[in-house]
Amino acid sequence: MGRSEETFGPSRYVGNDRLIAGIVLAVVTFWLFAQTTLNVLPAMRTELRINDGTSDIAVSITALFSGVFIVVAGGLADRFGRVKMTYAGLALSVAGSLLIAASPCGTAIFLMTGRIIQGVSAACIMPATLALMKAYFDGAARQRALSFWSIGSWGGSGLCALLGGLVDATMGWRSIFWMSIIVATLSWTLIRGTPESRGDAQETALPFDWTGLTALLIAMVAFNVVVGQGATLGWLNPVVLALTSVCALALIVFVRTERCCRHPFVDFRLFDNAIFLGATLSNFLLNGVAGALLIVLVLVQKAYGLSSLQSGLMTTGYLVAILLTIRVGEKLQQRCGGPRRPMLMGCAATAAGIALTTFTYVSATQYVVIAVIGITLLGVGLGLYATPSTDAALCSVAHARSGAASGIYKMASSLGTAFGIAISAAIFTALTTADGFPPMKSLAVGQPDQLRFAAAVALWFNVAMVLLAALAIKLAMPKQGDVVDDAVISNA
């Protein structure tokens, strides 16, 4: 067996709060700053003069590229070093933010390129930092470190709408990305000096599955374009039909390649472990509820006339709830003897919160109140779910594969976000522009309101995703008292 630096070399190094702070800021460069497009999208669309379909793709394409490349980055982090990969991610974050901040009006090239680079940046940062958490923290200290990592991730996603609205209203949306550059630089300063950590030498020397990566990338890009442009071009348009065929064919090639390849891009053997499978699948589905936030923020701006700042303020409860309940989820996991119960509690609160936001037919004032409560419940649910799920996924894999397994787990996060945003936006756009939709009387204006109907349907789709996540947890997670420990699938 090859030697791992986690066992030989800097194994005596114990992670400290400075490392945690640097990692959290690295994670924040994506979840806080890159995700602000969920709320400032209307302002960006207006200033850059781009259409709805293009702007919807710009929102989801970052998560898509993050999801596709995150496993690659996880493997590279195991091979070349997790600290080096974190530095590379921070450098890409600076480059992507710079392109977006400098985007000229009348073209989406700078915006799209910057968003793609931000996605690759997140792919480098997330698995590498998760693997560093596992390498340099143990037991309760690791759970504490993961809680702070989750605060950067889930908390950043909660603060992004408020930050985006506040900065857009005071300094303009471009300032958001200048701030991101400053935070990335500070993160690099705090992480500097951390000993390098790598995976097992034999594992990292294996050839990489470029065929599988290429097939998945083609499939996901084709899917994203079809979903984003289908309503605009027409679902029976030859271009849309051709891209749909390309997506299906690429997925077939991907699955066949991964099953036959000796060293696959996505090692399906990891999913033989029910715990890892349940954590990853539920993670994919619950990250998809980012689509619900997008729909609510767009609805209140389009149908109710709220500004980006006002709509951002509606998410304050989400931020507070998620920051308060992430550590609660950690403590519940310890008290309940496993991750199953807090993960299911999180799903229940998340489903209830999104269900409240589907009451789009009430008056403006009533909907804002209901939506604030619903978004707050959404934050409670995701906060309870975050740490138990992440810890369950990491504890069920061998140390030498933690980078690759973390990559798959976070790939589920990013692809889930891309999937949820793309499908939710597609449902909303399609029903908004469709003729002959079911009549719904708006108490605010006393006439049928297509926007409200479209939003309600898209939000119910998000509720369905949460229910499927709960089912995956119920079937896969061990019951109270069962032990989840490291290296359960060390033979993978």
- Which tens digit of pLDDT belongs to each residue from 38-92? 788 878 888 888 877 778 788 888 888 888 888 778 778 887 889 999 999 999 9
Tell me the three state secondary structure of residue 441. Answer: strand
Mean pLDDT of the chain: 83
Q: Is the pLDDT of residue 267 over 50?
A: yes
Paired tokens of 258: 């991964």
pLDDT at 435: 58
Do 476 and 277 contact (CB within 8 A), yes or no? Answer: yes
pLDDT at 377: 95
pLDDT at 24: 94
Paired tokens of 347: 């799903």
Task: For residues 111-137, give the mean pLDDT.
Answer: 89
H or E segment at 48? helix 37-48
Q: What is the dihedral of CA 253, 259, 265, 267, to 10 degrees?
A: 150
Confidence band of 12 (pLDDT split at 50, 70, 90): low
Do 224 and 256 contact (CB within 8 A), yes or no? Answer: no
List the alpha helices (DSSP H) in 261-339: 274-287, 290-302, 308-313, 316-336
Of the segments 218-222, 250-254, 483-487, which one has the largest average pLDDT value?
250-254
Of the segments 46-60, 209-223, 429-443, which one has the largest average pLDDT value?
209-223
Q: Is the pLDDT of residue 269 over 90?
A: no
Q: Is the pLDDT of residue 199 over 80?
A: no
Scan for tokens 């073209």, then name that residue: 107
Q: What domains can you pick out in the chain, each with its CATH number?
A: 15-193+265-476 (1.20.1250.20), 210-264 (no CATH)
User: Which of 95-99, 280-284, 424-428, 470-474 has the lowest average pLDDT?
Assistant: 424-428
pLDDT at 99: 94
List the alpha helices (DSSP H) in 137-209: 139-150, 156-170, 174-191, 201-204
Of the segments 144-158, 351-365, 437-451, which one has the largest average pLDDT value?
351-365
- CA-to-CA dists, residue 22 to 147, 185, 278, 457, angstroms: 14, 10, 30, 40
Which residue did the predictor score with more confidence, 155 or 447? 155
Q: Which amino acid is at 388?
A: P
Tell me the three state secondary structure of residue 267. Answer: coil
Question: Which positions ≥6 away from 289 have C-beta within 8 Å?
Answer: 350, 354, 378, 382, 420, 462, 465, 466
Which residue did the predictor score with more confidence, 51 or 12? 51
Scan for tokens 């951002």, then name that residue: 312
User: Which of 46-55, 154-163, 384-393, 442-451 has the lowest average pLDDT?
Assistant: 442-451
Pairwise CA distance, residues 334 & 21, whole Å: 24
Tally of residues, the chain = 492
Scan for tokens 């199953």, then name that residue: 340
Q: What is the pTM of this model?
A: 0.76
Q: Is the pLDDT of residue 302 over 50?
A: yes
pLDDT at 403: 59
Query: Mind listing the pLDDT tens digit for each residue in 336-381?
Result: 878 888 999 999 999 999 999 999 988 888 999 999 999 999 999 9
Terminal alpha carbon distance of the chain? 14
